């Protein structure tokens, strides 16, 4: 690497997005550019989880300023040790930018760099926030024509009866043919999770994501043992060791992998590999990332087996605007890999300057 530069940004959402973990109204992130001696530039994005937001981004920017001199002169293929000690979102940005540069140099897609087996299209789900039953049903009806799978955020209802009312309304709006999954974002204790999921199982649920808090691995295992519906570990999956522990305990039948949370594409691929060997399905999702993060997650999702569940990548429409020229977007419930080497996307420099907050640069 011969140089790197970064720009922090702030993007507003079209409308507030509510989950059991809180309400999101804007996304703070950082665009990273890694320059190589061949004149290529790899792009990466660090958008810390919305729950930690601006404070985490400041931590990312400070860490980047410290680590930047060590990145200069490093081989793009050998950044694992360096990234291991960094905040996950920053490690992700560096890893994605390095993968983008490597793939561009080799004339292949990032997906092709990560795996020999690559899908050209990835099924994706629509996502409905923790809205009231009637609002959630209207949104579900609007998704029927465009998606084959819908995820409903749950966990804010005052009791099981209210939760059932919301799920019943959404299932009725979707009809029986659309796949429905739920995401509790860790809102329940194990007993309530078991009671709620068993009550909701007649609505034909594909899976339930993170029914208990991220750190309650035993509770997650108890829920999976008690219910017929597959449980997906989401916030629990913070890296390879966490994923290995979930698999060892048979605590979930699905792993949700977020590159922004686990430190990049190559660490995420390691999680996918051990899950596939264990016969456990993987869902790749974003954290309402901007266009670079979504494209990177799409390339990762393209390396999943053909029979994998739909991935949570259709979040670009939550943003009022984006920082890439042609954001990847779903059509007919799938997202196609962009053409061209690397990530296959380009920055919209005008848009980035519009939403920029700060800049930094280091050269050799």
Q: Which residues are catalytic?
A: 153, 258
Measured CA to CA, the distance from residue 56 to residue 36 in angstroms comes to 28
Measured CA to CA, the distance from residue 294 to residue 48 in angstroms comes to 13
Q: How many residues make up the chain in this entry?
A: 364
Measured CA to CA, the distance from residue 364 to residue 357 in angstroms comes to 25
Measured CA to CA, the distance from residue 118 to residue 136 in angstroms comes to 35
The H or E element that residue 16 is part of is strand 3-19
Measured CA to CA, the distance from residue 86 to residue 93 in angstroms comes to 11
Torsion of CA 312, 313, 316, 322, to 10 degrees: 140
Show the tokens assigned to 130.
């923790």
Distance of CA 102 to the CA centre of its chain: 22
74 class by beta-carbon count within 10 Å (0-12 exposed, 13-18 middle, 19+ buried): middle
Measured CA to CA, the distance from residue 60 to residue 220 in angstroms comes to 31
Q: At how many degrees (to 10) do helices 88-106 and 53-71 cross?
A: 50
Show the tokens assigned to 59.
């931590």
Q: 335 near 124, Cβ under 8 Å?
A: yes
Q: Angle at Cα 201 formed by Cα 162 and Cα 187, nearest 5°?
A: 50
The string of DSSP letters for 277-299 reads HTT-EEEEB-SS--HHHHHHHHH
Q: Name every residue whose Cβ is closer than 8 Å to that of residue 108 and which is 6 or more positions away in sequence.
A: 341
Measured CA to CA, the distance from residue 61 to residue 359 in angstroms comes to 10
């Amino acid at each position: 690497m011969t140089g790197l530069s970064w720009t922090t940004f702030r993007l507003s959402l079209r409308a507030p997005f509510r989950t059991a973990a809180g309400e999101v109204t804007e996304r703070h992130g950082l665009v990273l550019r890694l320059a190589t001696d061949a004149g290529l530039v790899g792009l990466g994005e660090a958008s810390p989880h919305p729950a930690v937001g601006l404070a985490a981004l400041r931590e990312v920017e400070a860490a980047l300023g410290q680590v930047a001199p060590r990145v200069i002169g490093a081989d793009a293929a050998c950044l694992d040790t360096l990234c291991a000690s960094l905040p996950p979102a920053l490690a992700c940005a560096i890893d994605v930018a390095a993968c983008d540069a490597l793939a561009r140099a080799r004339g292949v897609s990032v997906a092709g760099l990560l795996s020999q087996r690559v899908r050209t299209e990835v099924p994706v789900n629509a996502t409905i926030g923790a809205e009231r039953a009637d609002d959630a049903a209207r949104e579900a009806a609007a998704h029927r024509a465009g998606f084959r799978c819908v995820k409903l955020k749950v966990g804010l209802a005052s009791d099981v009866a209210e939760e059932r009312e919301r799920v019943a309304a959404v299932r009725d709006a979707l009809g029986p043919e659309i796949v429905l999954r739920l995401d509790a974002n860790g809102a329940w204790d194990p007993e309530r999770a078991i009671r709620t999921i068993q009550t909701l199982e007649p609505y034909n649920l594909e899976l339930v994501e993170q029914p208990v808090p991220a750190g309650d691995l035993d509770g997650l295992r108890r829920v999976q043992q008690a219910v017929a519906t597959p449980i997906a570990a989401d916030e629990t999956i913070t890296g390879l060791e966490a994923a290995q522990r979930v698999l060892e305990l048979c605590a979930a039948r699905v792993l949700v992998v977020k590159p922004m949370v686990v430190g990049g594409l190559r660490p995420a691929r390691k999680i996918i590999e051990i899950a596939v060997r264990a016969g456990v399905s993987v869902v790749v999702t974003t954290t309402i990332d901007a266009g670079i993060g979504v494209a990177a997650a799409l390339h990762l999702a393209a390396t999943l087996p053909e029979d994998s569940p739909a991935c949570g990548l259709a979040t670009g429409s939550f943003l009022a605007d984006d920082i890439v020229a042609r954001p990847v977007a779903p059509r007919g419930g799938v997202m196609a890999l962009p053409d061209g080497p690397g990530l296959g996307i380009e920055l919209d420099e005008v848009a980035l300057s519009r939403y920029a907050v700060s800049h930094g640069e280091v050269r050799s």
